[in-house]
Structure 1
């Protein structure tokens, strides 16, 4: 997980991608749908980092269908 520090700016960090994911979760979505909707996320590895952060903060959950939804 990339966090802002001397080497990485806020815009390059995972924290800057969180608002895009949360704003697109009005209804449950699959990870593939989120990756297509969030243009500022550079690949599936970065998406997993963002989702890990949101899950640790208890802002998202996984439903029975395997879709991501807001808590």
Structure 2
């Protein structure tokens, strides 16, 4: 994962791509491949895309629906 530091600005970091993925999932649930097709202009590297999904899942921002095989944006208004 590319974090902002002396070598990489925030815009070049993986963190800057989190909102892109979250916005895409707020619009509608999506399969992993379908979501990548929608955002690949902003995140062309597949390994970085997978790091983003791993991080957002670990942070509790997205969830996986095994039955429908889709990713979902997790809303936490009630917490």
TM-score, with structure 1 as normaliser: 0.89
Q: Once the 2 structures are TM-superposed, how far is the Cα of residue 35 of structure 1 from its aligned partner?
A: 1.4
Give ranges in structure 2 of 5+ residues lacking alignment.
75-79
* Runs of 4+ off more than 2 Å: none
Deviation string 1:14-41 (CA, Å, 9 cap, x unpaired) is 1111111011112211121121111210
Q: Give the paired residue count.
A: 71
Q: Once the 2 structures are TM-superposed, how far is the Cα of residue 66 of structure 1 from its aligned partner?
A: 2.2
Any conservation in 2 of the 1:35–1:43 contact (CA below 8 Å)? no
Matched with 1:55 is 57
Deviation string 1:11-69 (CA, Å, 9 cap, x unpaired) is 11111111110111122111211211112102210111111111111000100222110
Aligned-CA RMSD value: 1.1
Alignment of 1:1-71 (within 5 A): 1-25=1-25, 26-38=27-39, 39-64=41-66, 65-71=68-74
TM-score, with structure 2 as normaliser: 0.81
Give ranges in structure 1 of 5+ residues lacking alignment.
none
